Amino acid sequence: MDIRRASRLPADLRDEITQILEEQFARAKTVLSEQSAFLVELAEELLEKEYVGSTDVAAIAAKSMTSGKDSTRSACP
């Protein structure tokens, strides 16, 4: 959002937008934290190969989920 326009919004609307942004930022941090093992392994694979296909990503996700490191999610990241 353009900061010049934000100052013209009503205070309650600015507060609501701020609350939504803060909640979604916290949610994103949680998801990244919960999926850290998957993300680290994917990054390592990318550094090694520079390209990974959907089959590789699915295999890494399955391995990550079965290892118990990211057991908080039941779906593929």
Specify the pLDDT at position 43: 94
- Tokens read off for 49: 């190969």
Below-50 pLDDT ranges, the chain: 69-77
Count of the separate structural domains present in the chain: 1
CB-based contacts of 14, cutoff 8 Å, min separation 6: 6
Contact 35, 73 (CB under 8 A): yes
Per the domain annotation, does 1 fall within a domain?
Answer: no
Specify the pLDDT at position 71: 45
Per the domain annotation, does 71 fall within a domain?
Answer: no
Per the domain annotation, does 4 fall within a domain?
Answer: no
Per the domain annotation, does 23 fall within a domain?
Answer: yes
Specify the pLDDT at position 68: 58
* CB neighbour class for 1 (10 Å; exposed up to 12, middle 13-18, buried from 19): exposed
Per the domain annotation, does 73 fall within a domain?
Answer: no
Residue span of the structural domain in which 41 resides: 10-66
